[in-house]
Amino acid sequence: MDNESGSLKIVQIRFQDLKRTNTDFIHKIFSPLYSVNSVDDLKRKLSSIMHKVNRLSIFKESSIDITESDSSSEGLVLTFRGIEKNYSLKAGTEVQKDDVAFRFGGHWINILGKGESLEANASYGLACTTPLSLSFKKPLYGDPDRVLEFFLSSCSSGRQIWQPYKCKTDQAGSAISFPLGDNGTNVLKAVICQRTAYDFIPTSSPSYLNHAGTVVKASLINQSAFDRRDDRVLPTKGSLWKHQTEISTIQGNCNFMKQEAYGQILFPIHRLLTLGISGRCGFIKVVNGNHNLLSSLDKFHMGGPNSIRGFQVNSLGPKEASNTLGATYVAESCVNLSFPLSESLKIVRGHLFLNSGVLTNQLSHLTRQKLYSSFGCGIVANLGGARFEMNACYPVVNNSLSYDDITRPSIQIGIGMDFL
């Protein structure tokens, strides 16, 4: 192997110290090495294979030895040694949509010998409590980017400004994920859930009271994303495109289709300045059945630190008896100018923003609905992989500064993964 471009041949691949890992499974991952014909080819393919093995996350430590064959066959013998992971216990905070929760659980790794994992968790949040969630994942063909998953969970949420009742949701389903090119992913899910709405506040609107009790919903969901940003939390260049299609049927004869798209593009306009433009739009179409069976939990909502900043969470759009109902059409956008606050502190930046959006139940009325906007400035930070924002916000409704109980100039704090 002294000659970097010289020819060579792998005649045998051995595996040592493996207790649970299926030999055929790991051998298929390494099998492309049998076709190498030079040192450069070996380095390239071995680097790709070890990257895949590391992403399977089934070994704590691994090493490769390459020796001359001790048999009559001329060539090299590759020996892989791995110390397998067993399980892990973890506890910490978790950022969810519109909620922050304390989460703890266990993760059992490589339980059947082919990269499978079983995860059990419980979380307790400000808005939602999940006493149990289970997930079983299996990589397909030894590829960490192609995963089959089965899951079930139970979640209880309390009353919110946009939800004047308590709700218990039990769901189970399966999902398959696979890559789309170099920067894309796609997830196809089949989910069935049972929702129970109870303990309504006395002033709940009739539209909410109509959904009291238990209902079953079955859904087929497809999610795709292309992420070319340089950073998921504080990006300064690149783009992100996401799209989701949901086809669902609700017990009681209501079938609907829901489409939602999100885009973000970032332009470095100076060594220190980044211009960001992002937007979200979506619609819900009841294909047949009773439109009134469509729950507010399935509709679009708007407002809050992750949406139109300066307004309370999910407080905008159609209302009834002071309750926000959500709507079937949404369009919102953001223009953002970000800059570093310190050359040495990379995890904190400052920004200026302008948000606007509309939420309605009739597409023909989209341009005649209230235009909710806000502008302001603040700081953004990367907190362990989640985005934290603290902003001075000035809300505007139909081009007029808004000063009521729901919207007023204020300091607003938000934390999450997805921001407008």
CATH number for the domain spanning 212: value is 2.40.160.50
Q: 3-class SS at 42?
A: helix
Same domain? For 306 and 197 the reply is yes
Strands (E), 313-385: 319-320, 323-324, 329-340, 348-360, 372-383
Is-above-0.75 flag for pTM?
Answer: yes
pLDDT computed for residue 403 by the predictor = 43
Q: Is the pLDDT of residue 175 over 70?
A: yes
Question: Domain boundary residue among 36, 59, 84?
Answer: 84
Mean pLDDT of 205-227: 89
pLDDT of 356 above 90? yes
Residue 379 lies in a domain: yes
pLDDT tens digit string along 67-123? 887 766 678 899 999 999 988 888 877 766 666 778 889 999 999 999 999 999 998
User: Quick one: 183 and 67 in the same domain?
Assistant: no
How many other CB atoms sit within 10 Å of the CB of residue 273?
A: 13
200, 346: one domain: yes
Domain that holds residue 399: 158-416
pLDDT at 171 over 90: yes
pLDDT > 70: percent of the chain: 93
CA distances from 187 to 194, 195, 221, 299, 308 (A): 22, 23, 8, 21, 28
pLDDT at 405 over 80: no
**Same domain flag for 198 and 302:** yes
* Residue 5 domain flag: no
Last residue of one domain, picked from the residues 37, 68, 84: 84
* 107, part of any domain: no
pLDDT > 70? residue 365: no
- Is 144 within the bounds of a domain? no
What is the spatial distance between Cα 305 and Cα 295, in angstroms, rounded to a whole number?
A: 24
Residue 225 resides in a domain: yes
Assess whether 211 and 351 both reside in one domain.
yes
Lowest mean pLDDT among 183-197, 203-217, 373-387: 203-217
Are residues 29 and 52 in contact, defined by beta-carbon separation less than 8 angstroms? Answer: yes
Q: Per the domain annotation, does 377 fall within a domain?
A: yes
Q: What is the tally of structural domains in the chain?
A: 2
Residue 253: inside a domain, yes or no?
Answer: yes
Instruction: State which of 84, 113, 148 marks the end of a domain.
Output: 84
Cα atoms in the Cβ-side hemisphere of radius 13 Å centred on 155:
20
**Buried-state track 85-98, b at ≥16 Cβ within 10 A, e below 16:** beeeeeeeeebbeb
Q: What is the mean pLDDT of the chain?
A: 87
